[in-house]
Amino acid sequence: MNETIELMMKHRSVRKFKSDPVSEEQLAAIVAAGQMASSSSNVQAYSVIAVTDQEKKSKLAELAGNQAYVNECPVFLVWCADLYRLNDAAKRHLPDKESYADSTENFMVATIDVALASQNAALAAESLGFGIVYIGGIRNRIEEVAELLQLPDGAYPVFGMCIGVADQETGIRPRLPLKAVLHHDHYKSAQTLEGVQEYDVTSTEYLKERTNGERTTPWSELMAKRLTEPARLQVREFLERKGFLKR
């Protein structure tokens, strides 16, 4: 392995931060590194809102399910899929043409773009000695988050990211075995399910150690519960109102 891969293999989510600030220069470097991620046809269909205002962070923490670390981290990034710029370009340069900014394909392009950029930024932040954690909870009350951040039609908040100096030591959560993820030439169903069985053992041991024996539920059972419970069903209606997923 090299230094980059070693850094990536040490990733862990951090949910407690010191008060040390993230400087403007560091923040700019982190987001600029995010911008160097691959982008479909160079559309760069994303925007990032850096929230440092304490009152606004507190409100976002509440909207995200009362996650205290959103309030406590020095900077909270809200990563947004953003077709607003592109739609404006279409109106200016081709006013007589119909825009397909509302298509499912363009929704996917924007969402993938922001995910790629954010992961670049996460790695950059960790290389500077910061810890990060993604916050999907901002989609709990996604419309209120969009209003708070004054997002225009064509933009939606995909997830948040806390950044700061870690104030805790956490273990590295084991991942699925490679055999459950990596296939050669074609998808191997039996292989991936064998990998899940192996991972149930590994993840149960990790969870048992992490919780001092209080939790021992296998990963596949946790995922079964997650998949069979409705979650954030209001998001689709919100996305359609913001100009996404109409065709």
Domain regions of the chain by residue span: 3-171+229-241, 178-216
Determine contact, residues 171/206, Cβ cutoff 8 Å.
Answer: yes
Residue 74 has pLDDT above 90, yes or no: yes
Q: Which residue's structure tokens are 């560091």? A: 26
Write out pLDDT tens, residues 16-44: 999 999 999 999 999 999 999 999 999 99
| Cα 160 from chain centroid (whole Å) | 6
Torsion sign, CA atoms 152, 156, 160, 163? negative
CB atoms within 10 A of CB 77: 27
Region 112-118 average pLDDT:
98
Write out pLDDT tens, residues 190-241: 999 999 999 999 999 999 998 899 999 999 999 999 999 999 999 999 999 9
Q: What is the pTM of this model?
A: 0.94
Distances (CA, A) of 33 to 6, 25, 78, 80, 123: 18, 12, 16, 16, 9
How would residue 170 be classed by pLDDT, with cut points 50, 70 and 90? confident
Per-residue model confidence (pLDDT) at position 210: 87
Strand order in the sheet with 155-164: 46-51, 75-82, 155-164, 131-135
Give the CA count within 13 Å in the CB-facing half-sphere of 138.
Answer: 29
133 φ, ψ (degrees, to nearest 5): -150, 135
21 φ, ψ (degrees, to nearest 5): -75, 160
| Cα 173 from chain centroid (whole Å) | 17
Region 58-74 average pLDDT:
96
Per-residue model confidence (pLDDT) at position 171: 84
Per-residue model confidence (pLDDT) at position 88: 95
Strands 75-82 and 131-135: unpaired
Cα angle value 139/19/173 (rounded, 5°): 55
Burial per residue of 131-154, b for 16 or more beta-carbon CB atoms within 10 angstroms, e otherwise:
bbbbbebbbbbbbebbebbebeeb
CATH code reported for the domain at 3-171+229-241: 3.40.109.10
Residue 169 has pLDDT above 90, yes or no: no
With both helix axes pointing from N to C terminus, report the angle between 24-35 and 104-127 in degrees, rounded to the nearest 10: 130
Write out pLDDT tens, residues 134-160: 999 999 999 999 999 999 999 999 999
Residues belonging to the chain: 247
Per-residue model confidence (pLDDT) at position 243: 94
Burial per residue of 160-176, b for 16 or more beta-carbon CB atoms within 10 angstroms, e otherwise:
bbbbbbbeeeeeeeeeb
In sequence order, the 6+-apart residues with CB closer than 8 A to the CB of 103 are: 246, 247
